Amino acid sequence: MGEKVYVLGAGSTKYGKLSESIIEIALNASKDAIDSAGITPKDVKAGYISNVFGVADKQVHMAPVIMSNLGIPEVPGLTIESACGSGSVMFREAFANVSAGFYDCVLALGVEKVTHTSTVESTTLFSYCSDFFYEGGNGASFPGLFGSMARAYLATYKATEEDLARVAVKNHENGLLNPKAHVRKKITVDDVLKSPVVASPLKLYDCCPFSDGASAVILCNEEFAKKSGKPYIEIVGSGRGASPASVQSRKDITTIPSTVEAARQAYKMANLSPKDIDFVEVHDCFTIAELIDIEDLGFFPKGTAAQAVREGRTKLNSDITVNPSGGLKSKGHPIGATGVGQVVEVYEQFTNKAGDRTVKDAEIAMTHNFGATGASAAVHIFKKIK
């Protein structure tokens, strides 16, 4: 472990259907993060950008374009893709470079714009993130793959479709408290169960929306943070894991190995355990994912997450607050931005900017973000600076 690394500032656009170009969205979030940190673009020594579908906006090699538009064309930028986990994988690279002493201050930005494409085009683009030879190319979409995981989970453990629905209801309750969430709508278990079937047992309200949006944070070393005079939070744990790319290659499809390994690394680095975490932002692309996530991260024994949700133990200010932002399900899922948006939520929670969704007395938080069906994952742990 090298130098300590801090999140000094954070910014985010609203998530949803946005009219601005992908570069404009990126610049809006970047400017908010830079202003939040009390710095200028000239203080940024490198830019890390996470994006998956820039080709849909006719813009790949995006990082230099963003750096140039920020007025710092001489600052090196790097664009990173890791499917839906791009934001957290990119964040880890930014963290590692500051920790290694290469830079004292960097911009970590995630951005996506996909709602302007047709459903057929966007679904096709998404399918390229799976193992296309085995999955996407044979018609196995992500709803279908997660539907298979859900069916296996319901068949193996004491869980029901109502339990899946309760995950959606809880995340929508939190999303109502988030002014930047994509789907701010109160729903009931009955609403979820009566919504159209997408890939049985998953219904429409079990699935997160396609979203546009951007989120950005400023990472820096200790000297830079202390000089700033602005509030900051510490990154105390970081981990990355991998799983077989195709679901059919896994021994057990009710767990995601990449999550388990990334969490193990992050806990070890932070010298903490699941019981130390006050709240967690997890990758709930589908309701089944949240149940699997909170078991794989160690918050509940295998097969018991559904009962925990049933008992309200994952609600705001309960045993372990899960997705206070509303999660992907309600806050939205702008693919490249999602993992960074989770960090923005932690920063806002720890700097008294979360409003009505504040997790009381929280001091330690975790973010968890994976790509595709969990082929790649990253987990980070954060500590509030008192």
Q: Which residues are catalytic?
A: 84, 333
137: which DSSP letter?
A: G
Cβ(95)–Cβ(235) below 8 Å: yes
**Nearest 5°: CA angle at 218, between 377 and 30?**
95
Residues 6+ apart with CB under 8 A from 247: 135, 145, 148, 149, 253, 373
Q: Write a three-state SS string for 23-77.
A: HHHHHHHHHHHHHHCCCCHHHCCEEEEECCCHHHHCCCCHHHHHHHHCCCCCCCE
3-state secondary structure of 282: coil
Phi-psi region of 355 (alpha: psi -120 to 50; beta: other; left: phi over 0): left
Closest to 31 (Cα-Cα) out of 72, 61, 83:
72
How does strand 321-322 pair with strand 279-281? Answer: parallel
DSSP symbols for 310-332: HTTTTSTTSSSEE-TT-HHHHT-
Cβ(10)–Cβ(33) below 8 Å: yes
Cβ(63)–Cβ(33) below 8 Å: no
